[in-house]
């Protein structure tokens, strides 16, 4: 059992460099499968989700080399293989390989990627879109077999915004026969990054970052080197840490332009924000106030992935506040643990009402999923006394080293060795 021990209650002071984006790196790694050759992907975060994705790619006969944050993928020998179920189930993003593999090999067998504690995470939009492009999908009890002689362009009108479905359909379209239109496409920066990688490799894509994507299938894509943008959710997590603890921090390389809704929410709580080419400065000198009605939305709205972190900050803000989750059906899992720390929160379906308290007290906590686990680290950093957060492997899925990062911001934080039963996943060299 892995755990982080924190002695909280102090203001933050310091700076941290923001890692590459998990949610951009994963679809870009999947896109590398489309290229019959070598790609170099720079600024790739060394997190367990990337590790699992690389393992999956190796099982598909890719050759993977890693030099620090640069991943070299040789996908020239990609063939039809069944993906190892242990990695598919561990990580939902394995579904992102589907579109790319169908484009490359025409045949994929995989288990359903499965849900997680935040929601059922169905993939109906992915499968409906691929069927529209000429894929025959035989669903089984625990998974499906997908086959196609040739992917053909289609018009997709997504009934609601889905980041993953948008990404899968982009990956299936760039080498398809004919044109594809994706209406009601996701506009997240991670979609723009994926399109940037593909365009640099020779794909014909218009409308990246808008609600309508037009993709003209091309014969082949060529080798490319591409740099993953900084992670706006990791940057937003540490901005929320400043809201929780107070103090002043600098987030080096934070993608300020992609964080407008997050910075606006932080400013509405009393944070002083400074943006520059180098990164984002934040200072919280007075007790925070409640944001006026925070609602999670698709980009460019306030991101669901920062809902837990801002909830932690709201527990210590002055007054009464409301936070509404509109993307996932079960994303308030940390409420009982925040209540154990002294927070006053009432849950009403997909909304929580928070009455701010002066202080939280440290206690034993258990991470149940990635972003909730990170929020517990923030709450423990703000709480008086000692907190121990167990199951930190969930947090390692998306943060290279949250403990080290929080130490850089002045938090007394360490990994509890006696809890470490196995070496960290990332010590393995590829």
Site for ligand EPZ in 191-220 (CB under 6 A): none
Residue nearest to ligand EPZ (CB): 164
Closest Cα to residue 397, out of 366, 426, 429?
426
327 binds ligand EPZ (CB under 6 A): yes
* CA 77/CA 93 separation, integer angstroms: 22
238 binds ligand EPZ (CB under 6 A): no
237 binds ligand EPZ (CB under 6 A): no
Q: Could you tell me the end-to-end alpha-carbon distance of the chain, in angstroms, rounded to an integer?
A: 25
Instruction: Choose the stretch contacting ligand EPZ; rule: CB under 6 A; options: 19-27, 253-261, 263-271, 316-324.
Output: 19-27
Judged on CB neighbours under 10 Å (0-12, 13-18, 19+), 159 is exposed
328 binds ligand EPZ (CB under 6 A): yes
Site for ligand EPZ in 147-166 (CB under 6 A): 162-165
Closer residue to ligand EPZ in complex, CB, 65/124: 124
Q: How many residues bind ligand EPZ (CB under 6 A)?
A: 24
Complete DSSP assignment for 160-171: S--HHHHHHHHH
126 binds ligand EPZ (CB under 6 A): yes
* 231-240 CB burial, b ≥16 within 10 A, e <16: bbbbbbbbbb
Q: How far is the CB of 166 from ligand EPZ (least distance, A)?
A: 8
Closest Cα to residue 101, out of 4, 33, 154?
33
373 binds ligand EPZ (CB under 6 A): no
Q: What angle do CA 10, 345, 269 make, to 5 degrees?
A: 55
- Whose tokens are 């909830």? That residue is 311
Q: Which one among 53, 123, 284, 402 touches ligand EPZ, defined by CB under 6 A?
A: 123
* CA 19/CA 17 separation, integer angstroms: 6
Residue 351 near residue 332, CB atoms below 8 Å: no
Task: Go through the chain and tell me how many residues it has.
Answer: 430
Closer residue to ligand EPZ in complex, CB, 113/153: 113
Question: What are the DSSP E strand ranges found in 184-221?
Answer: 204-206, 212-216
Residues 388-427: x where in contact with ligand EPZ by CB under 6 A, - otherwise, as a string: ----------x-----------------------------
Write down the catalytic residue from 61, 116, 353, 407: 116
Give the strand pairing for 155-157 and 179-183.
Answer: parallel
Site for ligand EPZ in 352-371 (CB under 6 A): 370-371
124 binds ligand EPZ (CB under 6 A): yes
Q: Which one among 304, 337, 381, 408 touches ligand EPZ, defined by CB under 6 A?
A: 304
Closer residue to ligand EPZ in complex, CB, 262/284: 262
Instruction: Choose the stretch contacting ligand EPZ; rule: CB under 6 A; options: 97-105, 119-127, 314-322, 344-352.
Output: 119-127
116 is catalytic: yes
Cis peptide upstream of residue 300 (ω within 30 degrees of 0): yes
Q: Which run of H or of E encompasses 265?
A: helix 260-268
Active site residues: 116
Binding interface with ligand EPZ (CB under 6 A):
22-23, 26, 92-93, 119, 121-126, 162-165, 190, 304-305, 327-328, 370-371, 398
């Amino acid at each position: 059992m892995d755990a982080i021990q924190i002695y909280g209650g102090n203001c933050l002071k310091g700076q941290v460099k923001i890692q590459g984006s998990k949610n951009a790196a994963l679809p870009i790694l999947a896109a590398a499968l489309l290229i019959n050759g070598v790609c170099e992907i720079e600024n790739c975060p060394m997190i367990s989700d990337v590790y699992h994705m690389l393992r999956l790619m190796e099982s598909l006969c890719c050759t993977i080399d890693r030099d620090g944050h640069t991943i070299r993928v040789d996908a020239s020998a990609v063939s039809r293989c069944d993906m190892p179920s242990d990695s598919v189930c561990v990580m939902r993003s394995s579904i992102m390989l589907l579109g790319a593999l169908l484009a490359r090999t025409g045949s994929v067998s995989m288990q359903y990627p499965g849900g997680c504690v935040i929601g059922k995470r169905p993939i109906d939009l992915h499968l409906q879109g691929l069927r529209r492009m000429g894929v025959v999908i035989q669903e089984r009890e625990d998974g499906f077999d997908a086959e196609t002689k040739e992917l053909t362009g289609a018009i997709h009108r997504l009934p609601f915004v889905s980041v993953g479905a948008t990404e899968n359909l982009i990956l299936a379209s760039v080498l398809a026969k004919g044109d594809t239109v994706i209406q009601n496409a996701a506009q997240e920066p991670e979609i723009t990054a994926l399109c940037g990688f593909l365009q640099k490799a020779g794909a014909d894509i218009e409308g990246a970052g808008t609600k309508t994507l037009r993709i003209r299938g091309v014969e082949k894509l060529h080798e490319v080197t591409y740099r993953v943008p900084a992670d706006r959710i990791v940057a937003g997590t540490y901005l929320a840490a400043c809201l929780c603890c107070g103090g002043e921090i600098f987030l080096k390389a934070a993608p300020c332009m992609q964080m407008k809704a997050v910075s606006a929410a932080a400013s509405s709580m009393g944070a002083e924000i400074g943006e520059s080419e180098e990164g984002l400065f934040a200072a919280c000198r007075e007790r925070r106030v409640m944001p006026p009605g925070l609602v999670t939305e698709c980009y460019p709205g306030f991101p669901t992935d920062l809902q837990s972190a801002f909830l932690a900050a709201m527990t210590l803000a002055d007054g009464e506040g409301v936070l509404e989750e509109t993307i996932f059906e079960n994303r308030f899992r940390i409420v009982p643990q925040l209540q154990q720390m002294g927070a006053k929160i009432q849950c009403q379906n997909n909304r929580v009402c928070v009455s701010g308290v002066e202080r939280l007290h440290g206690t034993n906590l258990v991470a149940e999923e990635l972003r909730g686990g990170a929020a517990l680290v923030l709450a423990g950093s703000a709480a008086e006394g000692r907190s121990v957060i167990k199951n930190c492997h969930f947090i390692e899925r998306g943060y290279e080293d949250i403990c080290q990062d929080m130490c850089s911001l002045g938090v007394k934080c360490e990994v509890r060795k006696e809890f470490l039963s196995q070496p960290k996943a990332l010590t393995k060299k590829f």
